[in-house]
Amino acid sequence: MMLTALALLTQLAAIQPPTIKAEPTVFDVIDQRFGSGEIDLATRHLWRVAAIKSPQLLPAELQQMVGARATPRAREAMTSVLVEAWQWAGKLPEEGEQVRQLLLPPADLPLTLDSALYPIRVSYRSSTSQAFAQQVLTASEHSWQVETEDYGFAVPTIESGAERYRVRIEPTGMGGGAYTAPYDYDTSSHWTACFSYVVFDDSNPSDYIGSTMAHELNHAMQATMDCAEITTFWENTATYIMSTVYPDAFWETVAYLPYFQQQPWRALDYMDEYHSDAYEYGGVLLPLYLVGAYATSDGPVFMRKVWEACRQSWAAYDNVPHYYDAIAQVVAQRGGPAGMEAIHADFSEARFFVGDNADIYHIPNARRLWGGEPTVTNRYTLRDLPIEQAQPPYGEAPNQYGANFVQLDNLGDRPLRFEFDGESTTRWEVRVVLFGGSEPSLTHTIELDPETWQGGATLDPIGHGSAVLVVANLGSADYDPNRRRWTSTSYSYSIRELPSAPILDRIDPNVAELGASGMVFTLHGAEFVASDRFGVEFLDPRVRVTGFEVLDGEQVRLVVDVDPDAPVGPVAIRVANEPGIETSADGLLEIVDLEAGGEQGALGCGCAGSAAGADLLALALLGLALGWRRRRA
C-alpha cells in the first residue's frame, strides 16, 4: 500500500522531489495486453487481482514478474486494483464471478490473536511472528478506537458468521506494503457497504505498522460507508487520517505531496488507470486544505462527514452523489462557497502557498509542507516583460479541475497588466495573487466574459515582491468525475508593465492654419512610449491627426488636417501611452484663420499662410517618404 519507512526517509532527504521508478510492473504488462486486444476486460481484472492474491493463476511469464518486479509503484497500486476490480465485478454478477471468487477472503492463518477490545482478529503463520502480530493488533486497536469512536467513521462491516474483522500477516507479493480488499456487498445496509479484510506484509519494518494500519482500517471504514466511491478519494482521505491517528506519520504524508504537486495540471480526481504513480496519495493536500479552511478544530470529523455525504443506496451503481458533490455539501454547511467549482478555484490558489511559498493567509502551517511547492508552468522577472500571448508548455495545459501557475518576480513600482484568453470548451477562474514583501498577500480575481473567457486586470505591485497568475480549469458544466475522462484545455496570457502617463510640454509650431492639411508639428514632453497602444488625438474632431511617429521618449512627430469649419482658437489634445493611461492639455496648439487677417508669420516660417501651408504639406510628404509611422484617426 505505502512506501517503506526507509524509502520515505530517503525521499524526505532528497534534494530533488521524489519520483516513483518507472520500471514496468506486472500490472503494466497486463494492461498492455488489454490495450492491444489480446485479453478482454474480465481477464484484465482477473489477472490484476491474481497478481496480488494468487499469482499461480497467471501465465508463467507473468508469475515470474510478480516477484521480480516488486516496485513501489506496484505496492501503491494494490488497494486500488482490488477496489476497482470489485466495483466492476459487483455490477456484473455473471461476467465478474471469477473476480468475485478470487476476492473472497481465505481461511485464517494457523495462528491468531483476538482483540479483547474490538472485533479484530490478526492471523499469522509462525510463532516467530507473534511479537510482530501483537504490534499489528495493538496498532489496529488504537486506529479502530480513534477512527470510529473519536472521529465517528463507520465500524467496518463484518460478514455474518465471521464475528471479527480479519487482518492477515503474510507476503503481499509486491515486496512489502499492505492492502485492503473488498469482497462482497453488505445488503443489510442501506448504503453501498462492502465487507473487506486487510493483508499486511510481514517484511515491513515495525515502525511502519501504526500508520499503515491506520491507513488500511480507514479504507475498511470507507468500504462500509461507500464502496462505490472513486478510489482517488479513498487514498486522499486515508493518507490524511493516518497522520492524525499517528502524528509522527505526518512526515510520511508530506513525502507524498510532490507526486501531486509536480503535475498540478492533472484533475483533482485523476488516478492512473493502470498502476499508481502516487498522485492520489499526494492528493492528501486537498483534505489538508479543506480542514485548514473549514475544520481547524475537527478535521477528521469533517472528513467523516464528507464520506457520509458520499453515500448512496446499495442498489445504485452510478456513485451519485460522488465525492465532489459531498465536499461541496459539507463545505456549504460550514459557511463555505457553494459548488465544487468555487472550492476548486480557492484550492488552486491555496496549493501554491506551501513549503517555501507559504504565507499565513492560505493553509495553516503550510511551511511544514516543505517539498510540496507546485510546478510553475512559466516563471518570469520584470526584465522579461512584456509577455505577449504566451501559452502553457506542451503537455501542461490544465485538465478539467486542474490548475497552472505563472510566476512573476522582482516586481517594480509601476502597475502591471494581466490579460487572459481561455478556450471556450470549458470554464475558467483566473486570479492574480501579489505576495512577498512588506504588504499582506493580495488576491484579485480577473473578471472574464462567460462566453469568450477573455478578461484582464491592472494591479499596483507596490509592497509586493512577486505575483502568481493562478489559472483554474473549472470543467464543463456537466463534468462528472465518475467518467474518469481527463481532457486538457489551453489558453493564452499576456503580462506587461504599464507605462506612466505622458507629460505634455509644447507643440512646435504652436499654430495651425484653418482649412490646411498635411501640416507637420512636433509634440514635446516626456514619458512617451512607442507601442501599438500609443495614441494621440485632438478633442475637436475637426482637427485630425492623420499620422504620427514617436521619435523618442520626449518627441512625437504629428501630421494634422484642419477642416475649414473648425473653430478658431486653442484646441485641446489628448495623448495616451495606452488606453486609460493618458494626459490631456489645452492651449498647446491654436487654430488661426490667415485669410481673415490672422497674424503674418504666425506659423513660425515668416511667410504667408498659403505658402506656409504648402511648406508644411511638403514637409509632411517628405516625412512620409522617409518612413514616418502613420496612423489613421
* Percent above pLDDT 70 for the chain: 88
Q: How confident is the model at residue 276 (pLDDT cuts 50, 70, 90)?
A: confident
Pairing of strands 178-185, 120-124: unpaired
Report pLDDT digits (tens) over 421-478: 999 999 999 999 999 999 999 999 999 999 999 999 999 999 999 999 999 999 999 9
Confidence class for position 266, pLDDT limits 50, 70, 90: very high
Kindly give the pairing relationship between strand 519-526 and strand 503-508: antiparallel
Question: Interior CA angle at 279 toward 356 and 333, to 5°?
Answer: 80
Give the chain's domains with CATH numbers: 5-336 (1.10.390.10), 361-497 (2.60.120.380), 503-625 (2.60.40.10)
User: Please, are residues 104 and 68 in contact by the beta-carbon 8 Å criterion?
Assistant: no
Please give the grid coordinates belonging to residue 543. 482637427
Among the ranges given (17-26, 41-50, 534-543), the one the predictor scored with the smallest mean pLDDT: 17-26
- Looking at every residue in the chain, the average pLDDT score rounds to 89
CA distances from 69 to 273, 281, 506 (A): 19, 21, 80
Cβ count near 131 (within 10 Å):
10
Name the residue among 268, 265, 297 with its Cα closest to residue 364. 297
Per-residue pLDDT band for 28 (boundaries 50, 70, 90) equals confident
- Peptide bond preceding 509: is omega within 30 degrees of 0, i.e. cis? yes
The crossing angle, in degrees rounded to 10, of helices 299-310 and 285-294 is: 110
- Is pLDDT above 90 for 274? no
Beta-ladder partners of 459: 416
pLDDT band (50, 70, 90) for residue 73: low
Report the C-alpha gap between 347 and 345 in whole angstroms: 5
C-alpha 268: how far from chain center: 8
Cα–Cα distance between 185 and 192 in angstroms, integer?
Answer: 7
Is 58 in a helix, a strand, or coil? coil
Please give the Cα distance from 24 to 486 (Å, whole number): 23
CA–CA dist 400, 579 (Å, integer): 34
Q: What is the pLDDT of residue 72?
A: 65
- Is the pLDDT at 210 greater than 90, yes or no? yes
> Distance between CA atoms of 39 and 189, rounded to whole angstroms?
36
- How far is the C-alpha of 248 from the C-alpha of 481, rounded, in Å? 33
Mean predicted confidence (pLDDT) in 608-630 = 41
Do 577 and 527 touch, CB atoms closer than 8 A? yes
pLDDT on residue 556:
98
**What mean pLDDT do residues 277-286 have?**
95
pLDDT 10s digits, 287-324: 999 999 999 999 999 999 999 999 998 766 689 999 99
Point out the least confidently predicted range of 72-86, 143-157, 179-193, 550-564.
Answer: 72-86
Question: Percent of the chain at pLDDT above 90?
Answer: 79
